[in-house]
Amino acid sequence: QVQLQESGPGLVKASETLSLTCNVSGGYMINYYWSWIRQPAGKGLQWIGRIYNSGSTNFNPSLKSRVTMSVDTSKNQFSLKLSSVTAADTAVYYCAREGRDYHYYYMDVWGKGTTVTVSS
């Protein structure tokens, strides 16, 4: 079955850009959205944004100005860049697949998550 694996630096300096990649194995990327979600320690889930295999994107309005996403279906991977990070961006970052049966998408496959700490 489809498996997702996040990778990237676990430590990022404040004001710099956080970069993560999610590798997709065991399946194809077409006809799905590919998302990033984060979770600060002890807090709830926050959806960051998603990208379709065509490159179409949607972002959380609260993060939109700092987020860039890309997809490379030939490598079966997609990426997240979050610029101008602060301590508030410290969190576990998950990648996920969004699928649907009818009209609305839901996250049906998740990666294990990777912890990113922003240092001052």
Partner 1 sequence: SYVLTQPPSVSVAPGQTARISCGENNIGSKSVHWYQQKPGQAPVLVVYDDSDRPSGIPERFSGSNSGNTATLTISRVEGGDEADYYCQVWDSDSDHQVFGGGTKLTVL
Q: Binding string, 22-61, against partner 1, x = CB under 8 A?
A: -------------x--------xxxx-xx-------xxxx
Q: How many CA within 13 A on the CB side of residue 20?
A: 29
Distance CA 78, CA 13 (A): 23
Q: Specify the residue, 71 or 111, whose C-beta has the smaller distance to partner 1.
A: 111
> Does the protein bind partner 1 through residue 87 (CB under 8 A)?
no
Who contacts 79 (Cβ-Cβ below 8 Å, separation ≥6)? 19, 20, 21, 22, 69, 70, 71, 72
Single residue of 30, 65, 88, 104 touching partner 1 by CB under 8 A: 104
The residues binding partner 1 (CB under 8 A) are 35, 44-47, 49-50, 58-61, 94, 101-108, 110-113
